[in-house]
């Protein structure tokens, strides 16, 4: 999530125009997955899980990341940080 936030911040600072975006600029969404691999783990399983997380992020709106393992997205993290 830290890396995802850094990517979002970098892209936001660039402020690349995108007239069709509700944000008016290019945004970035992503799915994050983590696991401890074992003998039955393969790359396709990891990609599928990250893809599922991406669709979860997109369902929440644009410009966010989601991780099932953390059960948190970047919007929730930013709200949590703002309270502290």
d(CA 24, CA 30): 19
| Mean residue pLDDT across the chain | 83
pTM: 0.70
What pLDDT, in 10s, does the model give residues 3-42? 888 888 898 899 999 998 888 898 888 899 988 888 999 9
Q: Which of 19, 45, 18, 16 is nearest to 33 (CA)?
A: 45
Alpha carbon dihedral 20, 30, 57, 14, in 10-degree steps, equals -40
């Amino acid at each position: 999530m830290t890396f995802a936030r850094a990517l979002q911040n970098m892209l936001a600072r660039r402020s690349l125009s995108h007239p069709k975006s509700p944000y008016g600029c290019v945004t970035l969404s992503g799915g994050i997955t983590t696991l401890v691999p074992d003998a039955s783990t393969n790359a396709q399983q990891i990609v599928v899980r990250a893809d599922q997380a991406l669709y979860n992020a997109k369902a929440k709106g644009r410009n966010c990341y989601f991780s099932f393992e953390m059960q948190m997205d970047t919007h929730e993290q930013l709200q949590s940080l703002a309270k502290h």
